[in-house]
Amino acid sequence: MRRLALVVLLVLALPAAAAASEKNPTLRELEGELMCPTCGTTLELSNAPAANQIRRFARERIAAGDTKSEIEDKLVAEFGRGVLASPPKEGFDLLAWVLPLLAAGVAAATIGVLVFRWSRGRDSEPPAEELGTNGRVDLDPALEQRLEEELARYE
């Protein structure tokens, strides 16, 4: 019962933490989610003048009490969607989120089918009807004679 209560509390706490992050973003958090329009890297990796301008704008908006979404919306209005490090999860941009998952599923299914076929196609022993009286596969007498001669040459 205690475990169930703990799980319920954790599940309820996760949205609260996400909501707190939305209402009170930090500059460090935004730096990882915004791109520099000049160099194409996240703000945390960029020292370009455009990145510094975006940082300054984000600091001002955080101090003014804007939410993360409001800050991102204002930056998108000024710089375009390229300022966001991850594409939005809507419209055509949803493909950027769905296609990798779809490709991973197809790859896993393909590997599963190949492994199944490979494991079914291998026999560890020949069928019993192919074995001779001595427990070995009977060869054509001419082939067996040739094999014996070749083995004798190497001894």
Q: Indicate which CATH number applies to the domain containing 49.
A: 1.10.8.640
The domain in which residue 47 lies consists of 24-86
pLDDT score of 107:
96
Question: Does residue 147 sit within a domain?
Answer: no
110 in a domain, yes or no? no
Q: How many CB atoms lie within 10 A of CB 66?
A: 17
pLDDT for residue 105 = 94
The count of structural domains within the chain is: 1
- 138 in a domain, yes or no? no
What confidence score (pLDDT) does residue 80 get? Answer: 84
Q: How far is CA 133 from the centre of its chain?
A: 56
Distance CA 71, CA 30 (A): 9
pLDDT at 12: 65
Question: Looking at residue 27, what is its pLDDT?
Answer: 87
Residue 5 lies in a domain: no
In a domain, 54, yes or no: yes
Q: Are the beta carbons of 52 and 27 closer than 8 angstroms?
A: no
- What pLDDT is recorded for position 32? 87
Given a cut of 50, the residues of the chain with pLDDT beneath it are 16-20
Specify if 113 maps to a domain.
no
